[in-house]
Amino acid sequence: MGRLVDLNQIAVSLGGLPVLRDIELAIDAGETLGVSGPNGAGKTTLLRVLATLLAPITGSGTVLGAELGTAAVYPVRRSIGLLSHRPALIPELTLAENLRHAANLSGIEFSKAETALRVVGLDEVSSRTAAASSFGMLRRTEVARLLITSPTILLLDEPFTGLDVEAQELIGALVTRTTGDGGAVVMVSHEVGQLASHTSRLLTISLGRLEPAS
Amino acid sequence: MTRVRVLLAIAAVAMGVGLWFALTAPTDTLQGEFTRIINIHAPSMWLAFLAFGMTALGSAIWLIRKQSRWDRLAEASAELGVMFTAIGLFSGMVWGQAVWGRAWDWGDPRLSTTAVMFFVYIGYLALRAATPDPTVRARRSAILGVIAVVQVPLVYFSVNMFRTLHQTQSIRPDGITMPREMAIAIFVNVIAFTIVYIALLFARIDVAKAEERAAADIALAGDAVKPPRLSEVKDV
Amino acid sequence: MEIARIDLKVERRLGDTMRIVLPFAVVALLVFPLTLGVDLSAISRLGPAVFWAVGILFGMQVALRQAAHDDPERRDLYALLGVDPAARFVGRTLSGGVLMSGFLGVLLVAMIALYSPDLPDGWLGPVLLTSLLVAVGLTELGTLAGEVTADLHNRSALASLIIAPLALPLVIGASSTLEAMTRDAGILPWILILVATDLALAVAGVGLARPLEEASR
């Protein structure tokens, strides 16, 4: 598929304060990119730019061929998957209902979602509400959602935090599948060691700028 | 459940007897057949007071002893109290509309304070429904249950404090001011309603126990979450 | 429809509208006459006006309840699942309209029972129609206000402040309909005001959905 992301001199600000500046980034199909940095460095902001959810204030860039900050990003958003550091599930719905909701909105058959629940190991607890589920269970449900939506670009925000070894391996399998299918993965974390073992390229954010990790 | 079935059967018989007394008791000259509504209205309000009193009792004992049985009593009794208050208010409004041409009389503090009491316990039940943790729910609703019971004597004595359209108590320590047969009919229906309350109370407590058992039977999540099938990830 | 379906399912489980807001609104109906004293004819005359005032003020809480459960992660998820913001607006208006209609319906029954208003002949149809139009308009306002105030710490009060004056055409149209019937005057102009308000809000909601979504980030 070639070049999936191309950012040129991107600057982003939040609440009137500059967060990212002079961002130059190219991501090709099959790549797994790790971005490290301390808390507040702008890692999550970078992910949200790559998700086309935040428009740059200066600079230009494309994600899956769509120019950032234009209406062109709307059709490509379905090909982007984001695992935020806080789970995006409706607390009053069960894990299965949350997955069914995502499947319905994506036009995916629920049988595929049931398979995904079994693969992530939640088939026997899927009738538990999200509010009554542990963080690990919520994460697995979100992995199930990403399995059924099969995004081309997978964005992971602190994906291993708070997870047991089995769940971490599941994230690893998701990453492998995405890159194997011609997609790309961007993973951000403040733990460089975890990133190094799961990524093919490592960058760091320092003073709002992206630099190769030392 | 056998205990509940027996009580419900007794309650059904008692209500039948109460109905017979209500239909055969004399009526008021001015109000006619509408007088018979008193056999629903008065017992309902008495049972509402009893039920909310039991809620306060269960709440107070829970605060001291922290045993779930008292919380179950408080909850079940509050639900029944709301039900009986609703029946009492509705029957009173039907009676008022029929006899005085107005379903609601703002000049009657007893009506207003009864309505306020109703909503206090609606709030109590809403608080319970909104609190998922059983212990937190029991503690918070026990506190509210003890405070809310202040409404009960306020409603009862309001009719003595204000000159109102509402009938003052007809059954007082110094005598009964209504025909004897009418008083007997009301008394029989109070007993019948009380048996209904007891039957429904036990039934509701049994349901609460079953719900608690069902919640405890749900497998601990740690046991029920299975290892992911990593080799099948690519096939989803 | 999926957005509306899930929204109604969540409401059924939480019960915010019917278990909390509605009883609160009925208590408000009780408070007004208690402060007026025992003037039964005044209470009867004021009934419909109090109904609309309470319905709109407390209806705002119903209209804003979806916004109260929204968070940035969920908004991002909907965006990445390809849910068009305009479709989300329509879905929320649908579910909110259903809830608001039920809320106003029960409140109407309570007002009639408590205030014994002198209602003109043939009042039921126009009152039901105006209630439905107010329900839709108020829901649209709530959805819009929720988006405009997304993630602000004083969101609830701020959104209510935004909605209240904008809801005035709804209040005026609804209360004037019944008053016109009482005077045997035509009600069409007032119905048209309600319809026009609802349509304007719908166009604004759909047309501004994308900019609002971008502004909420």
pLDDT in tens, A92-107: 999 999 999 999 999 8
Chain A adjacent subunits, 3+ CB pairs under 8 A: B, C
Distance of CA C111 to the CA centre of its chain: 17
Spatial CB neighbours of A205, under 8 Å, sequence gap ≥ 6: A20, A35, A36, A37, A41, A42, A43, A46, A211
Spatial contact of C78 and C88, defined as CB atoms under 8 Å apart: yes
**Geometric angle at alpha carbon C65, from C62 and C69, rounded to 5°:** 170
Cβ–Cβ below 8 Å for C81 and A149: yes
Chain C residues near any Cβ of chain A (below 8 Å): 2, 6, 9-10, 13-14, 69, 71, 73-74, 76-84, 210, 214, 217
Does residue C20 belong to the interface with chain B, where contact is any CB pair within 8 Å? Answer: yes
Regions of chain B with pLDDT less than 70: 1, 151, 154-177, 217-223
Output the pLDDT for position B163: 46
Higher pLDDT, C165 or A44: A44
Question: Chain C closest CA to A214's CA: distance in Å?
Answer: 32
Task: Using DSSP bridges, classify how beta strands A80-83 and B171-172 pair: parallel, antiparallel or unpaired.
Answer: unpaired
Query: Tens digits of per-residue pLDDT, A50-61?
Result: 999 998 989 999
Residue A28 has pLDDT above 90, yes or no: yes
Say which DSSP state B228 is in.
Answer: P
Q: Which residues of B touch A174 (CB under 8 A)?
A: 233
Q: B91, B104, B162: which to substitute to probe chain C, counting the most C Cβ within 10 Å?
A: B104
C113: chain B residues, CB-CB within 8 Å: 93, 103-104
Q: How far is the C-alpha of B52 from the C-alpha of B146, rounded, in Å?
A: 9
> CB contact, 8 Å: C113 with chain B?
yes
Beta carbons of C78 and A105 less than 8 Å apart: yes
Average pLDDT over residues A6-22: 88
Closest CA to C114 of C171, C181, C50: C50
Q: List, as ranges, residues 78-107 from B with C-beta within 8 Å of C.
A: 93, 102-107
Q: Does A129 touch chain B (CB under 8 A)?
A: no
The pTM of the full predicted model, rounded to 2 decimals, is 0.81
Confidence of residue A193 (pLDDT cuts 50, 70, 90): confident
Residues of C in Cβ contact (< 8 Å) with B104: 113-116
User: Once rounded to an integer, what is the mean pLDDT over residues A147-169?
Assistant: 91
- Alpha carbon of C191: minimum distance to chain B alpha carbons (Å): 31
B23, with CB counted inside 10 A (0-12, 13-18, 19+), is: exposed
Of the partner residues A121, A148, A169, the one whose CB lies closest to the CB of residue B225? A121
Q: Which chains touch C (3 or more CB pairs under 8 A)?
A: A, B
**Which residues are bridge partners to B186 per DSSP?**
none
Contact C187, C181 (CB under 8 A): yes
Residue B169: predicted pLDDT = 54
**C88: nearest CA partner in chain A:** A105
Q: Do C14 and A92 touch (CB under 8 A)?
A: yes
Which H/E stretch holds residue A67? strand A66-67
Q: How far is B47 from chain C (nearest CA, A)?
A: 22
Identify the pLDDT of residue A41. 85
- What residues in chain C have per-residue pLDDT under 70? 37-38, 216-217
Question: Could you tell me which of B167, B154, B171 has the C-alpha nearest to residue B37?
Answer: B167
Q: Is B232 on the interface with A (CB under 8 A)?
A: yes
For testing contact with chain B, the best of C109, C114, C118, C119 (most B CBs within 10 A) = C114
Best residue of C10, C11, C24, C27 to probe chain B, by most B CBs closer than 10 Å: C27
Where is pLDDT greater, at A151 or C72?
A151
ipTM above 0.95, yes or no: no
Distance between B229 CA and the closest CA of chain A, angstroms: 5
The pLDDT assigned to B174 comes to: 55
Q: Which residues pair with A209 in a beta bridge?
A: A206
The nearest CA of chain A is from the CA of B216 a distance in Å of: 13
A55 interaction partners in chain C (CB closer than 8 Å): 214
* Cα–Cα dist B190/B171, whole Å: 13
B180 reaches C (C-beta below 8 A) = no
- Let me know the angle formed at the C-alpha of C52 by C49 and C57, rounded to the nearest 5 degrees: 125
Q: Is the CB of residue A106 less than 8 Å away from at least one CB of chain B? A: no
